[in-house]
């Protein structure tokens, strides 16, 4: 979509970090490509000194560039930009109590940047730049008054981005516990036979961390990764490690090691935020002995990943978490 009004001047051009109106606000994120920094761009654009005000289109707003405050070099390539916030926490400065500082006529866009592991700067002061109808504006005029208002022929608004090192915890930083039996159901066309399923919960040892995700894809169904086949009686076991999903989500357990089957059932284990889940199924009709552990990376609230093994133990009747495979 194009704008029929040509922009001739800006009266306000501001970059905010993590919701703060403060100039040079410090924004930190771990260098893992997942934790985000929130960036708001606020522009008051006019078509002529007497107006009217120009409401910028999304395409115009998305054309804004991130530049170095000193020198003006474009640095967008050092970040990954998204127009959606992901599940991981944004570090300090997210309180949004400055809404009245933005005139209703101003054009605003919010996006999020994350830092790749290759990030090698200690701190980077960022300003913004945009080209509208052939004229380029930026917020790195050192002679202007800070804050984004037009001053001395330009704008002075910036944020400080500081990357934090990634960290990785061992299996001992987590617990796994049997939460007891869990109900199940079948979609139309399912076999409907009785199942014996025990739910296991994986949590951090301390409240300093919580689980926000893992690298298990959410697919239908989630097939078992391990099976202990003893033969005879009801001592056979199958083992499932589940993706981390929002509370109330439904996930399907696959009867086979691969693919789907009318024997697949669904469960709704997601009752506790910050927790990952696994399942042990008890049965007498398994036919495969594939007794192995599963390596999984679990991501915490900062997007940092922790790799360890969900390890069937005691003939598959329990789980333990280990730093080594079975």
Residues 15-25 have pLDDT tens digits of: 999 999 999 99
Lowest mean pLDDT among 15-24, 114-123, 222-231, 232-241: 232-241
Question: How is the chain split into domains, by residue range?
Answer: 9-164, 171-322
Q: How confident is residue 217, by pLDDT bands cut at 50, 70 and 90?
A: very high
Q: Strands, DSSP E only, in 18-167?
A: 25-30, 36-46, 53-54, 65-68, 80-82, 107-114, 124-132, 135-138, 159-164
Average pLDDT, whole number, for the chain?
93
Q: How confident is residue 97, by pLDDT bands cut at 50, 70 and 90?
A: very low
**Nearby residues of 321 by Cβ (< 8 Å), 6 or more positions away:** 171, 172, 174, 175, 176, 202, 308, 309, 310, 311
- With CA atoms as reference, report the closest residue to 83 among 104, 102, 109, 107: 109
CATH H-level, domain 9-164: superfamily: Immunoglobulins (2.60.40.10)
Instruction: Flag whether pLDDT at 94 surpasses 70.
Output: no
CA dist 130 and 259 (Å) reads: 50
Write out pLDDT tens, residues 54-76. 999 999 999 999 999 999 999 99
pLDDT at residue 175, as a whole number: 97
- With CA atoms as reference, report the closest residue to 168 among 302, 311, 293: 302
pLDDT at residue 232, as a whole number: 67
């Amino acid at each position: 979509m194009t704008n029929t009004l040509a922009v001739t001047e800006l009266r306000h051009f501001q970059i905010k970090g993590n919701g703060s109106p403060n100039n040079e606000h410090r924004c930190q994120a771990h260098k893992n490509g997942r934790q985000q920094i929130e960036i708001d761009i606020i522009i008051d654009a006019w078509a002529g000194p007497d107006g009217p005000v120009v409401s910028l289109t999304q395409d115009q707003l998305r054309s804004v560039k991130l530049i170095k405050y000193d020198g003006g070099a474009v640095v967008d390539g050092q970040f990954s930009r998204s127009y959606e916030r992901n599940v991981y926490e944004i570090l300090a400065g997210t309180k949004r109590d400055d809404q009245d500082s933005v005139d209703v006529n101003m054009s605003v866009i919010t996006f999020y940047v994350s830092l790749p592991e290759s990030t090698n700067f200690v701190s980077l002061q960022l300003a913004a730049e945009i080209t509208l109808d052939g004229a380029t504006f930026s917020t790195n005029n050192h002679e202007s008054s800070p804050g984004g208002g037009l001053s001395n022929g330009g704008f002075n608004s910036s944020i400080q981005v500081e990357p934090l090192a990634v960290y990785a915890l061992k299996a001992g930083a987590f617990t796994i516990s049997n939460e007891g039996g869990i109900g199940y159901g079948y979609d139309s066309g399912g076999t409907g036979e009785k199942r014996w399923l025990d739910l296991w919960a994986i949590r951090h040892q301390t409240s300093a961390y919580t689980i926000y995700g893992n690298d298990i894809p959410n697919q239908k169904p989630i097939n078992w990764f391990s099976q202990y086949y003893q033969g005879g009686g009801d001592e056979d076991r199958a083992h499932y490690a589940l993706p981390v999903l929002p509370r109330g989500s439904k996930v399907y357990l696959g009867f086979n090691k691969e693919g789907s089957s009318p024997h697949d059932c669904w469960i709704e284990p997601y009752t506790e935020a910050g927790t990952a889940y696994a399942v042990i199924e008890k049965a007498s009709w398994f036919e495969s002995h594939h007794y192995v552990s599963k390596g999984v990376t679990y991501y915490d609230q900062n997007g940092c990943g922790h790799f360890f093994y969900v390890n069937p133990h005691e003939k598959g009747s329990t789980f333990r978490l280990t730093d080594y495979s079975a």
